[in-house]
Structure 1
Amino acid sequence: MRLLAAVDLGSSLEALVESARFLQGGLGVPAQVLHVVPSPYWEDLARRFPHLAPQVEELLRLARAEVEKALGATGLPVQVLRGFPAQVVAAEALKSKLVLLGRGGEVPLEALAKGGLARYLLHRGEVPVLLLPRALAGVRRIAVGLDESPASLAAFRVAEAWGRALGAEVLGLHLVSGHGGCCFPTYLDPGKLSVPEVLERAKAHLEALLKATGAVEVSWGEAEEDLLRLAEARGADLLVLGSKARSTWRHRLGRMVEVLVLRSPLPLLVVPEAAVW
């Protein structure tokens, strides 16, 4: 198995390569760089106009050779394939332990446009995906967004494994909202407990559920950004979330993942519910 850094030739290339090198050393899993030359348009053109087929084939051959040469300078093994990028990366992901993707663009339209491949892989829910708005060159503290779901438990177990391998502290973070809000624990009685009691019992419940080797912190919060602010305030270098993909017929990722995939300034590791590290 490998760490698969799926790259284009844009601004995220260097950050992805640096992150792949760091994780290769820390996790003890070999990394490989993958680039897909988006060839379907040119191949369709050659079929439509057969007299162009030799020139098109030569152009694609030259493009592949130049990309292989450029990426070879990274010092990591390189694979350059032709095809529809999302489908090719998804197929190669099945042979991988982790997929690394760059995440660029701050305005919503640009972020959405550049998030197509990430969302495709996340909705497939077959392999953990690490989204990198910047290089990940060191990890001292890993924050995990917690609830009582199997997806959350899977994310916490992967975070624990990464923490042991990287020598990082693992901190579980759980939000609790008011009664009727999004995050009030279903296992507590809102009518009979004060806020401090809710927080205390939620913390005890999660620690017992997770058999946590790291710390668990429960905080009042209503929105996805509250979790992000809490992770940043605790000095997290990496945020980990569990994904519900493939666990329901709607293939929902979960609202926290849907929002923070686009907004997190922290490197974000999204772990499918069935993942084991």
Structure 2
Amino acid sequence: MRLLAAVDLGEGLESVVESTRFLQEGLGIPAELLHVVPTPYFEALGRRFPHLRPGLEEALSQVEKEVQKTLADTGLRARVLRGFPAQVVAGEALKSRLVLLGQRGTDALEALARGGLARYLLHRGEVPVLLLPRALKAVRRIAVGLDDSPASLSAFRVAEAWGRALGAEVFGLHLVSGQGGCCFPTYLDPEGLALTEVLAQAKAHLEQLLKATGVVEVSKGDEELDLLRLAKAREADLLVLGSKAKSTWRHRLGRMVEVLSSQSSMPLLVVPEATVW
């Protein structure tokens, strides 16, 4: 099994390549760069206008050669395939332990295409996905967004494995909204406890689930971005979230993953519930 870095040739290429090199060495898992030339449109043109087919095929072949050369120059193993990018990457992801995706480009079309690919992979929920708004060059502290779900606990176990491999500290972060809020933990009584008691009991509850002490911080927070702000305040280099790849019909990934996968300014690792690292 490998680390699979799905790359385009936009401004995020160098960040993904740098992150891939770092994780290949740190995790001790071979990595591969993959670029998918989006050919369905050109194939349809060739069927509609047969006289254009030879020129289109020649152009696509030249593109493949140029891209292959660019990726080979990185020193990493690389492949260039043809097809519909989301489907090809998803198929290759099944043969991988992790998929890395860049999230740095600001061009509207580039952002739309990459966002669609990320959401497609996250909704399938078959392999961990690392979203990279910037390069991941060193990891000293790994923050894990926690609740008491199996998906969250799986994410913490994966983070622990990464921490051992990378020599990083791993800690959990848990948000509790104000009394009566939508995110008040179901295992606590909002009527009988003051906020300080809520935070203390939530911490004890989660550390009991994790079978670890001193690794969870519980804080008041009402919005998904509060978790990102807390992770930054604690100087985390990487934020990890668990995902069931389902919640409600409109929010299949859960609100935390949905919001942070599109708005996080720090590397975000999304771990499906069934993942074992």
Q: Which residue in the other structure is 2:256 paired with?
A: 256
Q: Which residue in the other structure is 1:118 paired with?
A: 118
Q: Deviations over 1:18-68 (max 9, x none)?
A: 000000000010010000011111111111112222222121111111111
Q: Which residue in the other structure is 1:57 paired with?
A: 57
Is contact 1:247–1:273 with CA below 8 Å preserved after alignment? no
Q: Which residue in the other structure is 1:174 paired with?
A: 174
Structure 2: any 5+ residue segments left out of the alignment? none
Aligned residue for 2:187, secondary structure, equals coil
The offset of 1:226, in angstroms, is: 1.0
1:43-54 alignment runs, 5 A limit: 43-54=43-54
Q: Deviations over 1:238-257 (max 9, x none)?
A: 00011120577777111011
Is contact 2:5–2:33 with CA below 8 Å preserved after alignment? yes
Change (3 A) 1:28 1:119: same
1:37 aligns with 2:37: yes
TM-score if structure 2 supplies the norm length? Answer: 0.95
Q: Deviations over 1:64-91 (max 9, x none)?
A: 1111111100000011000011111111
1: CA distance between counterparts of 2:74 and 2:144? 31
Supply the AA of the counterpart residue of 2:34: L
Supply the AA of the counterpart residue of 2:192: K
Number of equivalent positions: 277
Kindly report the root-mean-square deviation, in angstroms, between the aligned alpha carbons of the 2 structures: 1.9
Supply the AA of the counterpart residue of 2:231: A
Change (3 A) 1:122 1:219: same
Q: Which residue in the other structure is 2:127 paired with?
A: 127
1:162 aligns with 2:157: no
Is contact 1:244–1:251 with CA below 8 Å preserved after alignment? no
The offset of 1:232, in angstroms, is: 0.4
Q: Which residue in the other structure is 1:240 paired with?
A: 240
Supply the AA of the counterpart residue of 1:4: L
Is contact 1:7–1:33 with CA below 8 Å preserved after alignment? yes
Q: Which residue in the other structure is 1:69 paired with?
A: 69
Aligned residue for 2:181, secondary structure, equals coil
Aligned residue for 2:96, secondary structure, equals coil
Is contact 2:239–2:269 with CA below 8 Å preserved after alignment? yes
Change (3 A) 1:256 1:202: same
Is contact 1:132–1:266 with CA below 8 Å preserved after alignment? yes
The offset of 1:225, in angstroms, is: 1.3
Identical columns (%):
77
Q: Which runs of 4+ in 1 moved over 3 A?
A: 105-114, 246-251
Q: Which residue in the other structure is 1:272 paired with?
A: 272
Bigger shift: residues 55-64 or 84-93: 55-64
Bigger shift: residues 121-130 or 238-247: 238-247
Q: Deviations over 1:128-186 (max 9, x none)?
A: 00000010000000000000111101111110100000000001000011232132110
Q: Deviations over 1:217-244 (max 9, x none)?
A: 0001111111111100000000001112
TM-score if structure 1 supplies the norm length? Answer: 0.95
Is contact 2:142–2:170 with CA below 8 Å preserved after alignment? yes
Change (3 A) 1:107 1:260: farther
Structure 1: any 5+ residue segments left out of the alignment? none
